[in-house]
Chain A
Amino acid sequence: MTETFSIRKYLRDLKLPFCPGCGIFTIMNTFLRAVHELGYEDLSKFVFCSGIGCSSWICSPYFKADSIHTPHGRSIPVATGMKLFHPDRDVVIFGGDGDIVGIGLSHFIHAARRNLDALVIMVNNMVYGMTGGQVAPTTPFKTKTTTTPYGSFEQPLDAARLATTAGACYSARWTTAHPKELRESIKKAIQMNGFRFIEVVSQCPTAYGRRAGFKNVGEMLKWFKEDAIQIQQVEKMSRRELEGKIVIGEFVERRRPTIVENVYAMIKDVQTHGR
């Protein structure tokens, strides 16, 4: 059986701006395919929010939907106000690693803590791509970037694990070399409540790959495939064996009361009992 599917039905009639070989194409395709497989004929169930950076352009303005493109790192607070006042829509946030866990890190942790009803999809290209390839909080140790010309001297942040610790209901990490797993993960996350986080390790051949020593996109995807370790295997491995590996899989899946549930329960209580 041949299934005909085109993401065009979800997109505005605009030319996409991303570089050839960018991982964003895979992520955009995978997200919309997940939405399609869940049976949504359009995006009217969702409101999209994003900050600044290449991946913040995924939804804004290309998705045919309500979308709010905020200042750098501030998509989560804007989404918080929007979701609290208007809880009917499903909020999906797109952002890069710099946006979500660099400048926006505090908002990210607090949103997980307060269990904001939103799905955050973080495209982790391990670099500030839009500004030309500067070191990011996610850049692997010793990697050369434009602001670490002799190699990065800092340890990268593990966003999927941080989200888990901070209280997320769902946290997972995949790479653009794992589109099927990513699609199933997005489908699951869309159907869950509370704070959901999916990190997608993605290739930026333009601003990261060529300086980090990758000849082409294929080499980067090969890296993702070969160095990806399923989270179930982590326990059996030593710290040394894990060095430089990309841990993929689902870090947590649980149910906690969300902020929307808690706030509206409080309002009801105040109005019923006057306290």
Chain B
Amino acid sequence: MKLLQPNKYFWQGNEACVEGAITAGCRFFAGYPITPASEISEHMAKQLPRISGIAIQMEDEMASVGAIIGASWAGAKAMTATSGPGFSLMQEFIGYAFMTETPCVIVDVQRTGPSTGQATKCGQGDVMQSRWGTHGDYSAIVLSPNSVQEMFTLTVRAFNLAEKYRTPVILLSDETITHMREQITVPPLDSVKIINRKKPRAGETAFFGSEETAPMPAVDEGFNVAVTGSTHDEYGTRFTADPVVHRKLVESLNNKIRNHTEEISDFEDCNIEDCQISIISYGCTSRAVYEAVEKAEAKGVKTGYVRLKTIWPFPEKIIRKLAEKADKIIVPELNLGQIYYEVERASKGLAKVIPLNKIGGGELITPEELLAKILKEAEKND
């Protein structure tokens, strides 16, 4: 079957996500219809059978994540896609995937919440849910694309991180980024870095709870692997009461990610060495930053920015560095303040952190609004 050719394409964000997933090796998709993520299911259903992959519509979002976890243990790279209400339902299995170290990718195309909210309108209200949505102690890897191009490249990266660390990875996008159309460049496929999970050698028996990421067998490979979401030792044997086994397992699973924060973190930055005002943004909101910064500079205000491509684990180092340089940090978000608090925590009082929030109707923060805020804060002497 003909695979994707290197070329320039004019794609919708959701379409680019599917092509990125397939490029990364995704061969199993399960989903449940929800605006604004349904195009991912539709495009997967069209593309996967052509390359011997499987796409299925399940009865709900819980079943969708369940199916991709089952497929992952059968050896597949697997993905699901949803929006806020479905993402809430998926939290049960996200914790399970973390606990069982099951690589998989979950795309959350954010819309306006809480609850059904405004189903077709853009929002950024799931940032904290993507970090803390499931119960218990865990660490999340969450990526945030801000263009159709990044819907492709960050989906590939989401699979690579999932395979490398054997953990669920969340691609936290939003309605604006996934529904807009842009030209994107698909590079030659052999130039795209692809990571595959580490497989066990014959005779190996320890498949769980290593800070260095244990090898993962598939069912049917003769390893008699026992997978459980209950507390277990490295062999998969359940220990429902032992405090030592629990501490060792859960600490290892968290350290597996936390110890690699630097490696996982990815961001774009500009003028951070010499700025009075700085902007920290992510996703659709970051699209207004470029123009606002350019215009602020033209008016003589030294302005810089950091744009987060990974939100979790939170890149504290760069925020701290920025806080040392800038007087003020503005955090624009399409919510009532979520990453703002993280920035305030990480900047340790070295800079004044100012939120710029907007919700409802899918209205974005415009470059003009952001510029006005920059100029106002530059003038104010506090």
Contacts and interface: CB of A to CB of B under 8 A. Distances in A.
A271 B62 CA distance: 31
A69 B227 contact: yes
Nearest to B60: A106
B218 interface: yes
Interface string A35-59: 0000000001001010000000000
Interface string B74-102: 11101000000000000011001000000
A108 to B, nearest CB: 10
B224 A85 contact: no
Contact of A81 (B78, B223, B236): B78
A238 B227 CA distance: 48
Contacts of A86: 74-75, 218-220
Interface stretch (A71-79, A148-156, A174-182): A71-79
Contact of B30 (A49, A81, A270): A81
Contacts of B27: 85
Contact of B73 (A14, A71, A82, A263): A82
Contacts of B54: 84-85, 263, 267
A62 to B, nearest CB: 9
A258 interface: no
A80 B63 contact: yes
A60 B56 CA distance: 27
B59 A107 contact: yes
Contacts of A60: 226-228, 238
B236 A77 contact: no
A154 B63 CA distance: 28
Candidate in B27, B69, B70 with the most chain A CB atoms within 10 angstroms: B70
B interface: dominant SS:
mixed
Interface residues of B, number: 46
Q: How large is the interface on A (under 10, 10 to 19, 20 to 34, 35 or more residues)?
A: 35 or more
A26 interface: no
Contacts of A69: 226-230, 238
A84 B27 CA distance: 11
A66 interface: yes
Interface in A67-118: 67-71, 74, 76-86, 88-89, 106-107, 110
Interface string B45-70: 00001101010101110111111111
B50 A71 contact: no
A65 B59 contact: no
Nearest to A259: B56
A155 to B, nearest CB: 24
A74 B30 CA distance: 15
Given A74-B93, A106-B60, A68 B227 contact: yes
A78 B1 contact: no
A67 B96 contact: no
B222 interface: yes
B350 interface: no
A14 B236 CA distance: 12
Interface in B29-54: 30, 49-50, 52, 54
24 contacts: A60-B227, A61-B226, A64-B224, A67-B226, A70-B66, A71-B92, A71-B96, A71-B229, A77-B67, A80-B70, A81-B28, A81-B69, A81-B74, A81-B78, A82-B70, A82-B73, A82-B74, A83-B70, A84-B28, A85-B70, A89-B220, A106-B60, A263-B56, A271-B50
Interface of A: 12, 14, 44, 47, 49, 60-61, 64-71, 74, 76-86, 88-89, 106-107, 110, 263, 266-267, 270-271
